Amino acid sequence: MTNPSRRDVAAVAAVSLAAVAASPSAESRAMSDFWRGVARLYDLPPGVVQLENGNFGVMARPVRAAYAAHIDRVNRDGSYYTRRFYDADLAAVRARAAQALGVDAHEIVFTRGATEALQALIGGYANLKPGDGVLYADLDYDSMQTAMAWLAQRRGAVPVTIALPEPATRQGLIDAYAQAFDANPHVRLALLTHLSHRTGLVLPIAEIVAMARARGIDCIVDSAHAWGQIPFSLTQMGADFVGLNAHKWIGAPIGVGILYCRRSRIRDLENFMGEPGPVDSLDSKVHTGTANFAAFLTLPDALDFHEQIGAARKAERLRALRDRWAEPLRDHPAFEILTPADPALSGGLTSFRLRGKTSAEDARAIARRLLDAHKIFTVARFGVARGACVRVTPNVFTSEDDIDRLLAAVRAIARA
């Protein structure tokens, strides 16, 4: 069956990029046409500017059609399919996902999301003894902070918490972790969030992982928001343990996550709750039970769609949309932009707060005002050491007009 995502996006890209090649001066117009074409492949809520895309990434219409076809097949053929053919099909999906990530298929295993993957990594990490420190930061995801703190009960570990600098710089972030490692030489495991769901801050992961390794510290990396939003390489990142989502920025159906573990480190994870499988297989480290067959089968369709847009082109677009609203407000006395202008430290997701408005209710009130008065949907985020904020998350279907509406709206709120 012809892959609809590959066909439709390729058609959009061919027209727009051919125009760029024919006339470099037409590049801006051609790329605008390209992104309008991509946006037409999505169905969105009417009357609302959708700028909260961090919860999950809605499927593009061609991916959704592929998902529907997979659902139909699974429900038509039932266990005759799932018990006789699904394992081979899932192995092919696993190989496709590994190829997209640039790793070996034996180094990944599917989960129902990055949360499940990271909980399995944190809970299954076997190299802690009583008194060893486990370090995490204010920008880490709530469930992951809970799991790290739980290691005190599980392993007798000692939690160490830090607040990341705001405003952040690359060197400031490296220094923050270096100082924390040096001040707490008992730390043996650190949680690092690649791209924060709270503020959008991107850590210099490779540098911090290397610095930790030199001190005998392992790192578990939360890349839930990174995969599909910013370009990166698992191998160049250097981390041995990573949790990823395919249902955020890759645009697969909800319920598709990936646990990555470097092959040489698989034995450093316990088998899940006494699973009898081989200790050198990642399949023994996670047990999801009966998951959504069709969701996993749709992952190659989502990857095709993502790759037809182009990972670098997508990252550049999301970044440009972010810069269009965040940078004009950076020097505004009423606003605090929580991610730096440095493109290496941010992607498309960025948060802001009104200066002095740091409570959870302050953030909720701003998000509520944006929706009620301006029909712009964002979300309040909490847990940042310096105060709550409002998260703005564009997607590939977001237009410049959408961003300009946001910019006008937040300026109006500041004047009120």
Residue closest to 405 by CA, chosen among 335, 324, 349, 331: 324
Task: Read off the pLDDT of each residue in 305-325 and give the average, rounded to a whole number.
Answer: 95
Backbone angles phi, psi at 36, to 5 degrees: -65, -40
- End position of a domain, from candidates 280, 303, 326: 303
Task: Read off the pLDDT of each residue in 127-132 and give the average, rounded to a whole number.
Answer: 98
Q: What's the start-to-end Cα distance of the chain, in Å?
A: 56
Residue 396 is assigned to a structural domain of this protein: yes
- End position of a domain, from candidates 270, 303, 336: 303
Q: 226 and 291 share a domain?
A: yes
Instruction: Find the CATH number of the domain harbouring 399.
Output: 3.90.1150.10
Whether pLDDT at 272 is above 60: yes
Q: Report the number of secondary-structure helices (H) and strands (E) in the chain.
A: 14, 13
Whether pLDDT at 8 is above 90: no
Residue 77 is assigned to a structural domain of this protein: yes
- Secondary element (H or E) of residue 361: helix 360-374
Residue 74 is assigned to a structural domain of this protein: yes
Helix axes 299-309, 61-82, angle to 10 degrees: 160
CB 210 within 8 A of CB 218: no
Q: 275 and 325 share a domain?
A: no
Domain holding 399, by residue range, is 312-415
Q: 131 and 177 share a domain?
A: yes
Q: 115 and 214 share a domain?
A: yes
Backbone angles phi, psi at 245, to 5 degrees: -115, 140
Residue 161 is assigned to a structural domain of this protein: yes
Q: 139 and 272 share a domain?
A: yes
Work out how many domains the chain is built from and give that number.
2
Residue 204 is assigned to a structural domain of this protein: yes
Residue closest to 380 by CA, chosen among 346, 402, 416, 352: 352
Q: 111 and 233 share a domain?
A: yes
Q: 272 and 363 share a domain?
A: no
Instruction: Find the CATH number of the domain harbouring 130.
Output: 3.40.640.10
Q: 189 and 327 share a domain?
A: no
Residue 45 is assigned to a structural domain of this protein: no
Q: 274 and 142 share a domain?
A: yes
Percentage of the chain modeled with pLDDT above 70: 93
pLDDT of 9 reads: 52
**pLDDT classification of 168: cutoffs 50, 70, 90:** very high
**Which contacts (CB < 8 Å, 24+ apart) does range 265-269 have?**
265/240, 265/241, 266/107, 268/125, 268/126, 268/127, 268/218, 268/240, 269/120, 269/121, 269/124, 269/125, 269/126, 269/241
Mean pLDDT, rounded, of the chain: 93
Whether pLDDT at 225 is above 70: yes
Q: 346 and 219 share a domain?
A: no
- End position of a domain, from candidates 303, 329, 358: 303
Q: 390 and 257 share a domain?
A: no
Residue 32 is assigned to a structural domain of this protein: no
pLDDT of 7 reads: 55
Residue 228 is assigned to a structural domain of this protein: yes
pLDDT of 32 reads: 86
CB 313 within 8 A of CB 16: no
pLDDT of 10 reads: 54
**pLDDT classification of 20: cutoffs 50, 70, 90:** very low
pLDDT of 30 reads: 74
Task: Read off the pLDDT of each residue in 12-32 and give the average, rounded to a whole number.
Answer: 53
Task: Read off the pLDDT of each residue in 246-273 and give the average, rounded to a whole number.
Answer: 97
Percentage of the chain modeled with pLDDT above 90: 91
Q: 265 and 167 share a domain?
A: yes
pLDDT of 11 reads: 54
